[in-house]
């Protein structure tokens, strides 16, 4: 097994701390303004921001946990802390969205006047700060935890823009229904994005094949290595969004132990370079390969092997 490449997202910790501090500031401003203006859209946004304070705190915690080395209890390390955090954040976002939709429906039957000027000022402040936070949370990699944190902030950005529109509509037309209508739109948008994050986290926890990995292409890459006759019991799964793992059995033609090891090193290099799979566990079968009629398929194996 070769070691994983360095994590490209080592700067997430400081970014998330800054995002957490600024989001807490937005929360304080919006809660105060919502209480004074009686705006549901602003209150909904403040509730969303509250979950973001928690989510960003958890995301920062997950980043710090993922730096812990592997130990006897967690032999693969703590990379999946971020996956659990991403799933939790998505579930909280959906719950908040349901609550906002419920309250908005109530207000559609009984619209309430709002202080449009105060709503516009506070939402404009939140919009500017969220735009800055979103720009700071942009970065390379497929870190699902960081993507979930960024989703919270982008959701805030969209929500703040929606609240600004609400304030402008109320100030210019007096149409009070704009407040609950835009609140529902914000909730649905955030809920849809959160569902996608949850689905990806579930796929990781179920050790599903990563969406961007073509198993057929991986199989062909292995077969292209000189000396490999066939491959079976092939599995590719996700330790975390940046750490992929592969295990397989390869049947090799008669050759010396040294030649076989060189072939395995070449195989590891090829799958790492082409598919960014750095954790590999490869069992070589030469003297006692599996029977041709053993019924092997990708991801399927019907009898055990001792580790070699």
The highest-confidence range among 25-34, 84-93, 194-203, by mean pLDDT, is: 25-34
Q: So what's the pLDDT on residue 217?
A: 92
Q: So what's the pLDDT on residue 295?
A: 45
Has residue 7 been placed in a domain? no
Angle between helices 40-66 and 81-109 (to 10 degrees): 180
Q: Which residues span the domain enclosing 126?
A: 12-205
Residue 220 — pLDDT band, cuts 50, 70, 90? very high
Residue 2 — pLDDT band, cuts 50, 70, 90? very low
Has residue 2 been placed in a domain? no
pLDDT at position 172 over 70: yes
Which CB contacts under 8 angstroms, 24+ apart, belong to 57-60?
57/20, 58/85, 58/88, 58/89, 59/12, 59/16, 59/85, 59/89, 59/145, 59/146, 59/148, 59/149, 60/13, 60/16, 60/17, 60/20
Same domain, 73 and 184: yes
Has residue 3 been placed in a domain? no
Has residue 130 been placed in a domain? yes
pLDDT at position 280 over 80: yes
Q: Of 1, 20, 107, 10, nearest to 59 (Cα)?
A: 20
Q: In whole angstroms, what is the distance from residue 65 CA to residue 78 CA?
A: 6
Q: Residue 238, SS3?
A: strand
Same domain, 20 and 45: yes
Residue 291 — pLDDT band, cuts 50, 70, 90? low
pLDDT at position 306 over 50: no
Token pair 């969303």 is at which residue?
48
Same domain, 147 and 250: no
Same domain, 48 and 188: yes
How far is the CA of 293 from the CAs of 37, 122, 233, 251, 290, in angstroms? Answer: 74, 70, 14, 14, 8
Looking at the structure of the chain, the number of domains it has is 2
Same domain, 289 and 146: no
Q: In whole angstroms, what is the distance from residue 39 CA to residue 163 CA?
A: 9
Has residue 37 been placed in a domain? yes
Has residue 61 been placed in a domain? yes
Q: So what's the pLDDT on residue 234?
A: 92
| Domain harbouring 280, CATH code | 3.30.70.1350
Of the two residues 168 and 140, the one the predictor is more confident about is 168
Has residue 1 been placed in a domain? no
Has residue 193 been placed in a domain? yes
Of 180, 205, 230, the last residue of a domain is 205
Beta bridge partners of 282: 248
Q: In whole angstroms, what is the distance from residue 33 CA to residue 174 CA?
A: 19
When the pLDDT of each residue in the chain is averaged and rounded to a whole number, the result is: 77
Q: So what's the pLDDT on residue 7?
A: 42
Of the two residues 304 and 126, the one the predictor is more confident about is 126
Q: Of 308, 272, 281, nearest to 1 (Cα)?
A: 281
Quick: pLDDT tens for 103-115. Answer: 888 888 888 788 8
Give the up-direction half-sphere exposure of residue 295: CA atoms within 13 A in the CB hemisphere. 4
Q: Of 178, 242, 299, 300, nearest to 7 (Cα)?
A: 242
Same domain, 42 and 165: yes
Q: In whole angstroms, what is the distance from residue 249 CA to residue 297 CA?
A: 11
| Domain harbouring 98, CATH code | 1.20.1510.10
Q: Of 144, 147, 185, 142, nearest to 163 (Cα)?
A: 185
Q: In whole angstroms, what is the distance from residue 272 CA to residue 81 CA?
A: 24
């Amino acid at each position: 097994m070769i070691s994983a490449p360095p994590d490209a997202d080592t700067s997430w910790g400081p970014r998330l701390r800054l995002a957490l501090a600024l989001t807490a500031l937005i929360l304080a401003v919006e809660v105060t303004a919502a209480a004074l203006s009686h705006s549901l859209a602003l209150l909904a946004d403040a509730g969303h921001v509250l979950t973001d304070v928690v989510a960003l705190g958890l995301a920062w915690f997950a980043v710090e946990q993922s730096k812990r080395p592997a130990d006897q209890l967690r032999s693969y390390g703590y990379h999946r802390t971020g996956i659990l955090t991403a799933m939790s954040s998505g579930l909280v976002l959906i719950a908040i969205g349901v609550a906002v939709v419920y309250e908005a429906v109530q207000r559609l039957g009984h619209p309430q006047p709002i202080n449009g000027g105060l709503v516009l000022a506070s939402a404009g402040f939140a919009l500017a700060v969220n735009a800055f936070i979103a720009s700071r949370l942009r970065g390379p990699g497929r870190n699902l935890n960081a993507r979930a944190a960024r989703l919270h902030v982008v959701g805030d950005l969209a929500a703040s823009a929606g609240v600004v529109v609400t304030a402008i509509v109320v100030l210019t037309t007096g149409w009070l229904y704009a407040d609950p209508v835009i609140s529902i739109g914000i909730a649905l948008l955030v809920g849809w994005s959160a569902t996608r994050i949850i689905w990806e986290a579930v796929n990781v926890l179920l050790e599903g094949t990563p969406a961007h990995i073509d198993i057929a292409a991986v199989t062909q890459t292995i077969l292209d290595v000189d000396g490999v006759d066939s491959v079976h019991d092939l599995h590719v799964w996700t330790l975390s969004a940046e750490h992929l793992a592969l295990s397989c059995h390869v049947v090799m033609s008669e050759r010396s132990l040294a030649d076989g090891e060189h072939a395995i090193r070449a195989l590891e290099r090829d799958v790492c370079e082409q598919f960014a799979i750095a954790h590999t566990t490869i069992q070589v079968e030469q003297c006692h390969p599996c029977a041709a009629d053993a019924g092997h398929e990708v991801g399927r194996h019907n009898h055990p092997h001792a580790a070699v």
